[in-house]
Amino acid sequence: MTTKVRTRFAPSPTGFLHIGGARTTLYSWLFARRHGGDFVLRIEDTDEVRSTGDSVTAILDSIKWLGLNWDEGPIDENTDKGPYAPYYQMKRVHIYRQYLDQLVKESKAYRCYCTKEELDEMRRIAQLEKRPPRYDGRCRSLSDSQRAAAEAAGKKFSIRFKMPVEGATLVDDKIRGMVSFENKLLQDLVIWKTTDGPTYNFCCVIDDHLMEISHVIRGDEHLSNTPSQVQIYLALGWTPPVFAHLSMIMGSDGSKLSKRHGATSVLEYRDQGYLPHTMRNYLALLGWSNAASQQLFTDEDLIAQFNLEGCQKSPATFDTVKLQWMNGEYIRATPVDRLIELAKPFLEKAGLLGLPGPDLKKVIALEHEKIKLLSDIPALIEFFYKPVEIAPKAMEKVLKAPGAKQVLLDLADALKDFSPFEDKALEARIRKFVEEKALKAGQVFHPLRVAVTGRQEGPTLFLMLEIMGRDQVVSRLRDAASKIA
């Protein structure tokens, strides 16, 4: 086994990359980067029924969007990079078969002829007897003649690994400490299916060894697989890697994270307008912390500080309120030019690119402090570029107030030749207009805002007017007045 740190993320392409998988990817990436090692991506597509090319694409797109570059692995659905290619398990079946033959030859694995119905019956009886539902080993010691008879009868077989029946299998987990599994409670697991293909537990052992993986960092749902995998390592004469099983991620109500708590797919967060850096920072804190309980990190901070000792055993809670707060913090820290680039997909979808109107940079800078998600931006700025649609509530409450229509018409006349059309000068002129008409400020400011934006709330009034420009402001004042019954 190599002394160089080599970690891996090995998803099954049966769906999107979810939050738990994204955190595993991040922790494996951070650990490798901190120790100057390699991060490997491997596709574990042994589930022939559920694995799809679309899922592979979605997983690769998710990891790319998160900004977690891998040193070895698939470039796309058909191409790999790295010295241990291929990195798709179903392209490595010939490799697994060699080790399968070795285990069978050494009587460390055997053919099992049990049908699905027989296995279901075993589970049913075990449940009735309040025993763990496990394979009872009935094919473990079949004679040559019994095997020949089964095959003569046309029975299909799987191949099971012989687990030890006495003692315990110890797993020295970097997060959970020493975990002991009683061998008598474990079953002889299937390592080769009746469909003549390998199983996950068998493949991952062989791949992790041949790819020289030093540390296996993964979710705690894999902890129960680990004793069987450790025994396969030992049966093949190999040293197991270091294991670290991450805590579960829970929803805010204390139940396992699911769609009812919000999006579970990484790409959904991209589509909602979260920044990749936000997701990296937030996911890092889902089960890990440093001594200072720091909340906001640069990537350099995370790489320098991340360690397995800081990972907690207890479940982490996914909090969308905190995630959105963090995203707002990072958006406010993002230069406007960069923010425009990041927001382009959302602006394009809203039809706001290429329209005549004020400088986009000035408009977004005006609302920068309010933005929590990239997807917020179109709704905040669209009135600068699209015809004003006055909200019904604003029309009834503000524009239909006594005298509002005349205020808009008089204000349009007052501003039609006004110069310089800049925020400080505009504020002074409009406040003077209030005095001249013997009105309260709200009787002018509120109709003015609604007339030019269609809304009762919005950005700083006078700077907004400056950016919008005199012609558009005057035109909108008169247009709004014409709509008041």
Catalytic residues: 259
Task: Say if CB 110 and CB 142 are below 8 A apart.
Answer: yes
For residue 182, give the 3-state DSSP assignment. strand
CA-based R_g, the chain, Å: 32
Rounded to whole angstroms, how far apart are CA atoms 444 and 169? 79
Question: Per-residue DSSP letters for 298-359?
Answer: -HHHHHHH--GGGB-SSPEE--HHHHHHHHHHHHHTS-HHHHHHHHHHHHHHTT-TT-SSS-
Q: What is the rounded (10 degree) CA torsion for 315, 320, 323, 324? A: -170
Three-class SS state of 175: coil
Q: Do the strands 316-317 and 249-250 form a parallel or antiparallel pair, or are they unpaired?
A: parallel
Q: Assess contact for 246 and 218: CB atoms under 8 A.
A: yes
> Residues 6 or more apart from 255 whose CB is under 8 A from it?
none
What is the SS3 assignment for 391?
Answer: coil
d(CA 291, CA 394): 51
Structural contact between residues 365 and 336, judged by C-beta atoms closer than 8 angstroms:
yes
**Residues 271, 52: Cα–Cα separation, whole Å:** 22
Distance CA 157, CA 284 (A): 44
* One-letter amino acid of 106: E
Map 193-210 to HEC letters. Answer: CCCCCECHHHHHHHHHHH
Region for residue 254 given its phi and psi (left: phi exceeds 0; alpha: psi -120 to 50; beta: otherwise): left
DSSP letter at 464?
Answer: H
Q: Which letter does DSSP use for residue 155 in this model?
A: -
CA angle 233, 141, 239 (to 5 degrees): 5
Is residue 33 a contact partner of residue 303, using CB atoms and an 8 Å limit?
yes
The strand pairing partners of 311, in sequence order, are: 288
Residue 216 per-residue DSSP state: E
Place of tokens 């800081």: 310
Give the C-alpha separation, 372 to 339, whole Å: 12
Residues 6+ apart with CB under 8 A from 76: 57, 60
